[in-house]
Amino acid sequence: MRLWASRSGHGIPAVFCHGGPGLWDTFGDVAALLADVATAYRWDQRGCGRSERRGPYSMARAAADLDAVRRHFGLESMVVLGHSWGAQLALRYTLDHPDRVRALVYVSGTGIDPKATWREEYARNLRSMLGEHVDRWEELHKRDRVPEEDREFSVLQWSADFADRARALEHAERMATPWLGVNFTCNAAINAQDKRHWGTPELRAQCESLQVPTLIVDGAQDIRPRRSVDSLEQALPDVSRVVLPGAGHVPWADDPDGFRSAVSAFLTDRL
């Protein structure tokens, strides 16, 4: 299995886990923001983006691939930074291998409760944020799409993730360029597995025993309700949380200075 990966910057080794599942790394701006405090190791997850497009797809397999990236670059330990679904992956890896993780940076994740506790509110917020584009999004959502329509659908949906509405479509277009194609098979397989395993007492107990320093970074205007992360914050024994008031689901785009300040301060103060 061949995985695309890259290295940039100088400082504390930090492996980035992109969102999805089924998407690809769009952490170029994050790597640049943190270039003077962290060596960023970016990668496209199995079957996604520039990595070889084949399974199997599971949380366990994604975590094993993350460890393969660590070994490839010769890292004994590292910071793991994950965004959205990648935050869930980063948490899972940290729970499984706390001796290999110096710190966890959990960005715009959705906590450890079942999706049913927040998904309906998210769906309402998504449609509300789409505004005049909601009818087109609904049309594309309901039917089979050709690749060009997959891109249009994704850009519309991603645009709801930005608090700066004047630049939301611009930000989403940038994320979609170059367009590397969503792996919907990967997305469906891992999301189905999450429904069975996320929100269990066992997961909470693991979090309660985790001793790895953790930073949770939220955008207050994320359309995924931020209360979904409260149970994770309450479970972790060594955690700090920064909420950026003017940011959405992609906080480094809406508030780059606030995001950089939060993450760099955490890394330099704790490590």
- If residue 42 lies in a helix (H) or strand (E), which one and from where to where? strand 38-43
- For residue 171, being part of any structural domain is answered with no
Per-residue pLDDT of the chain (271 residues; tens, 9 = 90+): 899 999 999 999 999 999 999 999 999 999 999 999 999 999 999 999 999 999 999 999 999 999 999 999 999 999 999 999 999 999 999 999 999 999 999 999 999 999 889 999 999 999 999 999 999 999 999 999 999 999 999 999 999 999 999 999 999 999 999 999 999 999 999 998 877 778 899 999 999 999 999 999 999 999 999 999 999 999 999 999 999 999 999 999 999 999 999 999 999 998 8
- Per-residue pLDDT, 198: 85
Q: Which of 45, 8, 55, 56 is CA-nearest to residue 23?
A: 45
- For residue 156, being part of any structural domain is answered with no
CA dihedral sign, ordered 209, 211, 212, 215? positive
- Per-residue pLDDT, 234: 97
The total domain count for the chain is 1
Look up residue 223 and give its DSSP letter.
Answer: S
Tokens describing residue 225: 């309700």
Q: How far apart are CA 53 and CA 33, in angstroms?
A: 30
Give the domain range for residue 243: 5-115+182-270
- Per-residue pLDDT, 163: 97
Q: What is the CATH number of the domain that holds 53?
A: 3.40.50.1820
Q: How far apart are CA 176 and CA 135, in angstroms?
A: 21
- For residue 148, being part of any structural domain is answered with no
Cis peptide leading into residue 21 (ω within 30°): yes
Pairing state of beta strands 12-17 and 101-107?
unpaired
- For residue 157, being part of any structural domain is answered with no
- Per-residue pLDDT, 98: 98
- For residue 223, being part of any structural domain is answered with yes
Rounded to two decimals, the pTM is 0.97
- For residue 145, being part of any structural domain is answered with no
Tokens describing residue 179: 């367009």
- For residue 265, being part of any structural domain is answered with yes
Q: Which of 239, 241, 246 is CA-nearest to residue 219?
A: 246
- For residue 26, being part of any structural domain is answered with yes
Residue 186, burial from CB neighbour count under 10 angstroms (0-12, 13-18, 19+): buried
